[in-house]
Structure 1
Amino acid sequence: MSEKLVECVPNFSEGRNKDIIKQITDMIEAVDGVSLLDVDPGPDMNRTVVTFIGTPEGVKEAAFQAIKKASELIDMSTHHGSHPRMGATDVCPFVPVTGVTTDECIEFSKEVARRVGGELGIPVYLYEKSAQKPERENLAVIRQGEYEALPEKLKKPEWKPDFGPAEFNAKAGATVIGVREFLIAYNINLNTREFRYATDIAFELREKGRSVRRSNSDDTFYFKNTDILKYEAGSYPCGNCDFIGKTINETIGHCKKEHGYDLVELLKSHDIDPRVLKEGESVKRPGKFKYCKAIGWMVKEYDRAQISINLTNYKETSMHDVLEEARRLAAERGVVVTGSEIVGM
């Protein structure tokens, strides 16, 4: 029988205080059957990605103890950083490595989530393969509004946590737990201090895409064009071509037939309900790569703009393809990709 191994990659909302980070990782290293593989703090993001691996029992215990320690040491009411977040332990994914099935790993994730919610009083949402509802599979959807939105979000029945109280935990926030495939966190650096170039390119790359600007603008660079195309009564532009539907359903059908994507799901990813589409909502179009999440920001440590990317299915979307497209998009904007890096392990 092969050895049973599970990987865990929790993201903690602390990237500056080395003592706090060390206290959290000490809890992991204190558990038998677990090996700490990597600790990757980001001061500008104010976030640390930790990677450890071990037996299922060991990994479950180490994850809980780390989440517990983080809830004691990190105060989300005073947290600031460039990365989206909603809790002291923002997200805690489990990855089956060997000798463990996905279904078994899902049960492990639920056991940890149950303890975190019950013993620590932290609202917990299950995501990815552990999600109990389709709309909770995507981390970005769960995290919309971030920590600041939690007080009102937790009052809504549709956002009742999977475990833990439906009450705002001001210090610890909320935590997302679940099973996913191996994820590649990948950064691409640009030779500019203008973060909007990074954001502009990120929006072109990511599956979620962006708002559409009018094409008759003389602006050279996309992000400088503030003339955003809107949905209006009787006028529902495609955003990819010149087609304009008389109803949103007509445009949904067109996008599926002619461009091969689901406009309903795309709008939902932007927190827009197509069933009650309001006039004045911006037209959306998808980005270039599926299974790609990306944002742009300024990294003060390097004094450069950076595109931060998560590839959630490297078998379908490779780093090489994303990097080459980023190079092309950067060149169009008069900037240069100067390097890239994998985050964590």
Structure 2
Amino acid sequence: MVSISLGRRLVACLLNVSEARRKDLVEMVAMAALYNSAGFQREETTVLNIFNDHDYNRSVITIVAGIESIREAVLSACEKACQLFDMSTHSGVHPCLGAVDLIPIYPLGEDVGVRHCAKEARAVAQGLTERVQGTSVFLFGWADSPLQRGLAQRRKEMGWFKKTPDLSDIRPDMGPLPQKTFGLTGVGASPYVMNCNVTIDTQDVKIGQSIASAIRESTAGGLPGVQVLALPHEGAVEIACNVESVQGSPPCQLTATTPWPSFTIGGQPYCHVPASLITAGVAELAGRHGVGTKGTALVGFTPQECRGLAELALSQGIAEFWKEQRKMRM
């Protein structure tokens, strides 16, 4: 059985790497998180999921570990990714800047908070630039001390959303000016962020952009914590949402039909928009354009699922849990 104390100390890293078409190489990155150079399994560490998207040419590796173990697991995975992936030859429809594009660290257990994760995120950022010469980093969220600028803001500042960003214009927070091989990596900490993608049955990206604009948090009447892009995807358009956890209780007007999952961090209440509400909102807006939806995909898990599955995996000693999740997912 996994100890109660370990469950309370768990953190997650949803490692985003700019490769999905060579799944064997992505799995090598996941294995580097789990095993040291001598082949011994790291304690208190599991990889719950590997999400690959061919059109995006992007993968998300869900690494969960105790707060004391997460740094080495993530750094080892990043080192392997930097050995295997070259941004100068990368192609894909999803915006990206780095071979390791994003390293977010989130608290899962009651005994760790965002400040603990921010400390580990800064240590990962420093360790990456030291271990892999030529890598460059920008910080976001609570790791971006003292400003604590959000990921969307920092990405705008770094040119992440541009179709062809100019690396020479970027001034990273750590490391040298970004190089073509490694690009630029975002490292940060925040309350848990889900990824929820809804596909609409059209190839008209402008319709997708209209829907994205309507549901994003910054729009009046938008959904709290939702950051969103509309991207061409497999002959249709995907409404790709980052769903940030927000502090406090959910807005009453948005919970009439669908309860919002809630949890606590450091004794403070947080909640997040349920995927069903995003799907319903996208479907309604798409319908106004005479367009249907084709499906919804969660990239990974909700925070509650992530902790529960991590406790299950660790209690049974399953490091490579992504291979077992279809049989064991709760």
Length-normalised TM-score, structure 2? 0.73
Tell me, yes or no, if the aligned pair for 2:140 and 2:148 is still in contact at 8 Å: no
Query: Which residue of 282, 299, 308 maps to 2:233?
Result: 299
Aligned to 2:199: 189
- Is it true that 1:28 corresponds to 2:33 in the alignment? yes
Query: Which residue of 138, 148, 151 maps to 2:151?
Result: 138
Aligned to 2:79: 68
Aligned mates of 1:208, 1:101 — CA distance in 2: 26
Q: Secondary structure at the match of 1:327?
A: helix
Q: Secondary structure at the match of 1:104?
A: helix
Deviation for aligned residue 1:10: 0.6
Deviation for aligned residue 1:289: 2.3
Aligned mates of 2:230, 2:150 — CA distance in 1: 23
- Is it true that 1:14 corresponds to 2:19 in the alignment? yes
Deviation for aligned residue 1:130: 1.1
Q: Secondary structure at the match of 1:111?
A: helix
Aligned to 2:5: 2
Tell me, yes or no, if the aligned pair for 2:30 and 2:77 is still in contact at 8 Å: yes
Deviations 1:15-70 (A, max 9, x none): 11112212211101215121110000000000000101112232211110111111
Deviation for aligned residue 1:316: 5.2
Deviation for aligned residue 1:140: 4.9
Deviations 1:151-179 (A, max 9, x none): 3323xxxx3x33222x2222001111111
Aligned mates of 2:214, 2:12 — CA distance in 1: 31
Query: Which residue of 275, 282, 285 maps to 1:329?
Result: 285
Go from structure 1 to structure 2 and tell me whether the alpha carbon gap of 1:70 and 1:139 turns closer, same or farther (over 3 Å shift): farther
Q: Which has the larger radius of gyration?
A: 1
Alignment of 1:1-345 (within 5 A): 2-3=5-6, 4-30=9-35, 31-33=41-43, 34-98=45-109, 99-121=111-133, 122-132=135-145, 134=147, 136-143=149-156, 144-146=158-160, 148-154=164-170, 159=171, 161-165=172-176, 167-209=177-219, 288-300=222-234, 303-313=235-245, 315=271, 317-345=273-301
Aligned mates of 1:135, 1:32 — CA distance in 2: 31
Deviations 1:303-341 (A, max 9, x none): 322211111126253433322221221111111123212
Go from structure 1 to structure 2 and tell me whether the alpha carbon gap of 1:312 and 1:51 turns closer, same or farther (over 3 Å shift): same
Deviations 1:227-261 (A, max 9, x none): xxxxxxxxxxxxxxxxxxxxxxxxxxxxxxxxxxx
Deviations 1:82-132 (A, max 9, x none): 111110111101111112232222111111111112221311111112112
The residue type paired with residue 313 of structure 1 is S
Aligned length: 261
Aligned mates of 1:325, 1:104 — CA distance in 2: 35
Deviation for aligned residue 1:133: 5.0
Go from structure 1 to structure 2 and tell me whether the alpha carbon gap of 1:54 and 1:135 turns closer, same or farther (over 3 Å shift): closer
* Structure 2: runs of 5 or more not aligned: 36-40, 247-270, 302-330
Aligned mates of 1:208, 1:69 — CA distance in 2: 37
Q: Which runs of 4+ in 1 moved over 4 A?
A: none
Deviation for aligned residue 1:71: 1.1
